[in-house]
Structure 1
């Protein structure tokens, strides 16, 4: 195939002395062996999405490597100096279990130190939420974590945190990107000042564990803790460095770790995907739970910001909860605890995202607390905490298996959330109930909300174009009726408009622009379409609901909701 001139221009830059010999040789090899791969490596620059900058490792502008991360770090160094003139700048850096994460973290540390910036670098792999905590604990101006979350083994990534411990949000992310794009590769200073690099470990662990204990323990009786039998798997990731110690300090001794998944390993050898959203990822943990009669299974992704949960249903069978269910359960528990302790002052709020279950709003209304909604990604929840300093954040989450307890960590936090779930499960069991039974009670009280997600993978240049066309078709030809129900409202977050399909009146949406469409139907159904910001996927989110007058009718109502979702998916030609 012919290689486009603009790609060749980029390639030729990577064959100059600004790049080391190994990199130049790798580029030449790809030029010879696979022009198509060369195009994939160079057709664009890696972009900041909902979870930072993430991509396949290898040479090229569209890959994670020493130079793309070096350029980002040089740009961030320059941006920090402009943002905090005259201050002694400090950053914290953590990394996960992925291939090259440790060496790439040192590259990032070198560039910061070369620019006169003090670096606190974790001496070994650590969970992402601990990095968010460390930024504030050490009074840093920014933080970096090297991770690609639950992506396949060939991926890595670069998340940027600001001094509040949250990820970058507009306008800072755009300002930073502009600075990075203006930098030439030969301007990157890779020569470290080792005197400015300080390695950190146990002291931060101790402080983080203390913070988690304070946020997620609620006077659970020791007998209840002893009776709870937990299976835990880190899925070869970083959470094994903290969660066992945290649970032990909290008084939970009946913890059983999946031994074959306990060792950090960037190959993730026992799972197809180290993603707790995927049922297969927790299959070994569930097998162990059945073997030993455990009450609950918790599994975390490689950087320990997401968690998957399985509990026993009414028939004693281990059942996976989805992210919306765990979010609702945890939020309700926190609200009830705050109520019982008389902690409500009238300025509290909970939070979620536009693609998550509407059931969370029912909880806010029932407990008379504020509810804030943001775009996908916990950086928006962190921004709420920063933007409303006189309000108190209780907890919040999103459908993609993330949750945040309190405001000491400003990102989704599977470490503290695991402890919270153990507290919830232990207290429920001590009362003759279970998390599954508690969930059914919530459906009976607030309505049965059932959610479902379809995620379509579309890789490479052609895939990106296909995703773009799908969104364009949904915008230009909005559906007026779905499954026999009228579409009453279409929200287009890219255009910042909400169109009333009956009156044709248009209202302005106040959230930042994002490539998301949401359809609302007359019966309360909600359908969202959204390209992923971190993966080559387009996602469709479905939420349907019906009243549940009695727990005894759960199966019947669930079957009705499942059928409704199935009909909608078929009508939209998504399967």
Structure 2
């Protein structure tokens, strides 16, 4: 074991660390050197939006001290940024192990720094945190969640005054404030009179506004005729989605009872990730049993959703995040097209389907593109206050309907996709048929995400080397098509390989590299900001002359994607 790692660990064997923490570290020193190394080889990053990692003792772990240091830093920053005022923070948490106790520790540290705290009484969906922040006129919001990561993970996401996650310059300023601190600087002694517990009043308002934003102009009979299966996959959405659908008029709702109870072990799935087909398997089985029209599953903190619908053979098929986003955006654009004022816009991200731009602009609506992450979409709303945000999303199964919540929101999005399915069913069509019709109208875009898991110290080195190789030795052809444009967001440079011109990218720096070919193929690479993965986003497209040729053309595009994966070693 490296000397510096052992010395770093030994610092945790004395105050300010409590006895349980000291015993945990001593156990690792004596019995588990490999885990000790991973727990102390680095400091877990407070990234530009927060922190996510494995729970346990150590500087590279989620625990009361790493989260306490974050909270102390934010408290100090609030005092500097908003002097001579009563600072207000709202805190929520999800179903993960230790989320409730960690949320109370965070509340204690804030209150110890004379910050007024609103703490949810029990687990709540992440979008409700964004909603409550604005509703309660808070300066900051914290949610304890690790989204769809494995059970051993937890996390700490930070939201700012506008209800969106941290963006520049606040993110870097807060990181600097945190990095100046030592663990002994954390004030843990709470002032309980500054902590208020909140619950049903905010819930009722959130659900009311979710219905207001997600419910559209369709008949009540259409809603009553739609058969829905829903699973929270052991997560927080059980607190909001059944109530939202019921109050909106959906009477034929089946819930996967085996997955209805919040449980941080996620016992019925390999991963509580609605992107994974296995996560929706029980819901699809229930839908087949009851001949339901649509299946919806949400991740543990209820900001993302996965959807399955019936195809032309009446079989349940999963939609990917790009397809869901396109359908939701189409429906919203249809609603707006007779009342456009010219200031509306739709937003998505640089790694999402190019079809979003094509379809939005075909409606005569402005399309804006951001870096990956909903904080950037929320930042557009803040940056352009005179523009009206219709909706938007990203390929990772998240969508935001309007501006009442400034983060991806599976509660309102679930209602919206049910409205779409109910409307189409009432018109003798289906979600699946409409998707193919949109491909026929705007072009057939097919995408695939490949995520390579690279854990630990060596994994981080491999990810860094992979990105370095792609920059140092750029692809010249992809599937026989010449690469004509390379966008490197780390260096903020766009290189046109046809005229050899370079231009500056108008977005913040990020470790993202995108290749474009002469035929519109797009391949993007980026390390995940929340998991030990490097992700590759592949998009290909062609024309679809008629719905009848969908299967044939889909097969051609699938083969093309497989060739691309083989070419670049995926």
TM range (shorter): over 0.9
Which residue in 2 is equivalent to 1:370?
366
1:14 alignment partner, SS class: helix
1:482 aligns with 2:475: no
2:89 alignment partner, SS class: strand
Partners in 1 of 2:232 and 2:35 — Cα distance? Answer: 33
Partners in 2 of 1:252 and 1:83 — Cα distance? Answer: 46
Q: Deviations over 1:303-355 (max 9, x none)?
A: 00000000001110000000000000000100101124x2x111000000000
1:107 aligns with 2:105: yes
Which residue in 2 is equivalent to 1:65?
63
2:313 alignment partner, SS class: coil
* Aligned pairs (5 A) from 1:232-251: 232-251=230-249
* Aligned pairs (5 A) from 1:276-287: 276-287=274-285
2:348 alignment partner, SS class: strand
* Aligned pairs (5 A) from 1:433-444: 433-444=429-440
Q: Deviations over 1:227-286 (max 9, x none)?
A: 100000000000000101111110111100000000000000000000000010000000
Could you tell me how far 1:14 is from its partner in structure 2? 1.4
Partners in 2 of 1:118 and 1:57 — Cα distance? Answer: 27
* Aligned pairs (5 A) from 1:552-567: 552-567=548-563
1:64 alignment partner, SS class: coil
* Aligned pairs (5 A) from 1:158-557: 158-340=156-338, 342=339, 344-557=340-553
RMSD: 0.9
Cα 1:49–1:295 shift into 2, 3 Å? farther
1:489 alignment partner, SS class: strand
Partners in 2 of 1:166 and 1:525 — Cα distance? Answer: 32
Could you tell me how far 1:362 is from its partner in structure 2? 1.0
Q: Deviations over 1:449-493 (max 9, x none)?
A: 000010000000000000000000000000111211100011110
1:573 aligns with 2:569: yes
Could you tell me how far 1:501 is from its partner in structure 2? 1.6
Unaligned runs of 5+ in 1: none
Partners in 2 of 1:334 and 1:516 — Cα distance? Answer: 30
Partners in 2 of 1:350 and 1:33 — Cα distance? Answer: 54
Q: Deviations over 1:139-177 (max 9, x none)?
A: 000000000000000000000000100000122111111
1:350 alignment partner, SS class: strand
Q: Does the Cα contact within 8 Å between 2:49 and 2:166 map onto a contact in 1?
A: no
Unaligned runs of 5+ in 2: none
Could you tell me how far 1:132 is from its partner in structure 2? 0.4
2:273 alignment partner, SS class: coil
TM-score (norm 1): 0.98
Could you tell me how far 1:432 is from its partner in structure 2? 0.3
Partners in 2 of 1:123 and 1:324 — Cα distance? Answer: 35
2:77 alignment partner, SS class: helix
TM-score (norm 2): 0.99
Could you tell me how far 1:16 is from its partner in structure 2? 2.0
The structure 2 residue matched to 1:22, chosen from 20, 29, 39, is: 20
Partners in 2 of 1:21 and 1:518 — Cα distance? Answer: 49
Q: Does the Cα contact within 8 Å between 2:48 and 2:172 map onto a contact in 1?
A: no
